Chain A
Amino acid sequence: MKILAVCGCGCGSSVILKMNATKALKDLGVSADLDVSDITTAKGAASTADLVLVGREMADAMPAVKAPVIVLDSFVNKQEVKDKLEAFFKEKGLL
């Protein structure tokens, strides 16, 4: 499982998202590789990802990708990240 967190420059908010997603996955007992990318390179980076995490305001600018995309309202709300990841993995039958 490879997960990509996307933000405008790939150095600030997406890194926070990655930290919180890493913690959430650990709590959920799911192992995955997390990476970050900026919006301009997201299409290429997402081509090998199984899941993409992106903030709501960036979602419109996201290029179309094959991988499912989870849209988040807050980058710092650990509970939101965890709830949405949990729902995703349950739907996929991985939890």
Chain B
Amino acid sequence: MAEIVTVNEIELGVEAADWEEAVRAAGAVMVRQGIVTPEYVDAMVETVHTLGPYIVIAPGLAMPHAKAGDRVLRSGISIITLKTPVCFGNRTNDPAYMLVALAGKNDDIHLDILQAISDIFEDEQTVYKLAACEDKQTIADIFNGMEVNLE
């Protein structure tokens, strides 16, 4: 299987004062890596404003994404962990320690990516272990399907 993410799409210990800064930080990585245009980042923020904090899909984990339009240059993800967790206003899953931002060209987010996210975070402790992880390669390996012992 092709790699889902490389260390270049991962930032650790990002400082964000609130959820919007956190989403923009995850978006900035995507822009830098040529995954999306800056307008896509605005759209991810706007999605939270209009549709609410549902993107905190599990305790501690936010998954910002938006409709692609012509703002997605290639399908991909970025991953950031936060120095201090932020609240989105989600009643059950706040605060978010980690963001996995998604972009799918033609709104077709690769099923491998979604399956990996679903499997990785099935154990609700995983997000906290990953948020405390200080090695980008370890996180990349986990997303790319390698067996990694987080203990």
A-side residues, CB < 8 A to B, are 7-13, 15-16, 19-20, 39, 55-58, 60-61, 73-78
Q: A58 vs B102: C-alpha distance in the bound complex, in angstroms?
A: 19
- Given B59, B63, B92, B124, which contacts A12 in the complex, CB threshold below 8 Å? B63
Residues of chain B in range 17-75 having any CB-CB distance to chain A below 8 Å: 47, 51-59, 61, 63, 65-68
Whether A58 lies near B59 (C-beta < 8 A) is: no
Question: How many contacting A-B pairs (Cβ < 8 A)?
Answer: 81
Q: Which residues on the A side are within 8 Å of B58 (C-beta)? A: 74-77
Chain B contact-residue range equals 20 to 34
Closest to B106 in A: A11
A to B CB contacts below 8 Å, 18 in the list: A9-B47, A9-B65, A9-B66, A12-B102, A13-B54, A19-B115, A20-B118, A39-B51, A56-B91, A57-B90, A58-B51, A58-B52, A60-B52, A73-B92, A74-B92, A75-B58, A76-B58, A77-B122
User: Which 10 residue pairs spanning A and B have beta carbons closest together?
Assistant: A57-B54, A75-B57, A8-B51, A74-B58, A76-B121, A73-B92, A58-B54, A12-B65, A11-B107, A76-B58
How many Å from the CB of A77 to the closest CB on chain B? 7
B interface residues, Cβ below 8 angstroms from A: 47, 51-59, 61, 63, 65-68, 90-93, 102, 104, 107-109, 111, 114-115, 117-118, 121-122, 124
Chain B: minimal CB distance from A88 (Å)? 20
Known: A9-B65, A12-B65, A19-B114. 10 other contacts (CB 8 A): A11-B68, A11-B107, A12-B63, A16-B118, A19-B111, A55-B54, A57-B54, A75-B58, A77-B122, A78-B118
- Which chain B residues lie closer than 8 Å to A76 at the CB level? 57-58, 61, 117-118, 121-122
In the complex, which residues of chain A have a beta carbon less than 8 angstroms from the beta carbon of B56? 57
- State A62–B121 Cα separation when bound (angstroms): 26
A45 to chain B, nearest CB (A): 15
CB-nearest residue of chain B relative to A8? B51
Closest to A40 in B: B51
Report whether B108 and A11 are in contact in the complex, using a CB–CB cutoff of 8 Å.
yes
Give Cα distance in the complex from A74 to B52, angstroms. Answer: 15
